[in-house]
Structures are given as C-alpha cells and as structure tokens.
Amino acid sequence: MTDLTPILQAVRQAAQLCQEVQQRHVVRSDKAGHEPVTIADYGSQAIICRALKQAFPQDGVMAEESGKQFIELVPPPERAYIINLVGQILGEHITEAQMVDWLDHGKDVETARLWVIDPIDGTKGFLGQRHYVNAVGVLQDRRPVGGVIAAPAYPG
C-alpha cells in the first residue's frame, strides 16, 4: 500500500493556496479549446507535484497543466504572484524554473505506479466562488489503489 501522508499534506497546501487566490486574486486564462485555467490550477499542481517528486521521484504523473502552458498563458505579474504564494505556503523561496519543473514532473514517464492529478476539478465553480476540489489519485498497474481529495469551498 502506498503511503499517502506526503500527498495529503500537499493537497492541504494546495487547498490553502486555492482559498487565498480565490479571496484575493482570481484571473482566468483559456487553454486551447477554450477551457478555463487559473493561476491556482498551476500553483496547486506545482505543490502536489513537488511532493510527488520528493516522496516518489521515479513515479509517473498524469496532470492537466504544463510548464510550457504556464509560461505562455500566464502574464509575468501573475506568474510572479503565484510563484511567491507557492513559496510562502511551502515556507521557502522558489524560482520560476522550479515551478515549471514541478509542473512537468513525471510526465511521459511510464511506471507501474501512476499519479493522476486534477489541481482544480471544477475550475468554473472555482471562478464562480462555488464548489471545486483538488484531486489526486494513484494507480498501480492501471488499477486505482488510493487517492486524496480536498473540497476547500465545502461548508463545514
């Protein structure tokens, strides 16, 4: 059984980041196909992928966002804001290069264990100040064996 403790902590941090962005600084971009994406999507995924890189460095990752997309779609002031916020939540100074590296960690790596990340499932709900979740699942030999979900906007 995979120990989800480091991922649980990362998902909690991602939820904290989402709440802070939602309260102070929601700016939307559109990916190809006109799907909405926010800086909170990138920040959440970076935090989760950083934890995966530290705890499970050889594992594959399937995630929605990419470092290239982050650089191309997010204007420099927004990139600086989310990089700074990720650093504050992690308690360390981080660089744009680290952020991009974390966003792309484990992509296109075929392994028996694969992590599936949706940094904000329900981006439209996030944008509308409604419900959304931060979701991480783990597959072993293509079978689901665990996961962690946070619902930051859920009352209670």
Q: Write out the catalytic residue numbers.
A: 41, 123
Closest by CA position to 89, among listed 143, 29, 44, 123: 44
- What's CA 130's distance to the chain center, in Å? 18
69 vs 91: CA distance, rounded Å:
25
- Please, are residues 144 and 138 in contact by the beta-carbon 8 Å criterion? yes
- Side by side, the strands of the sheet bearing 60-63 are 60-63, 113-121, 133-140, 143-150
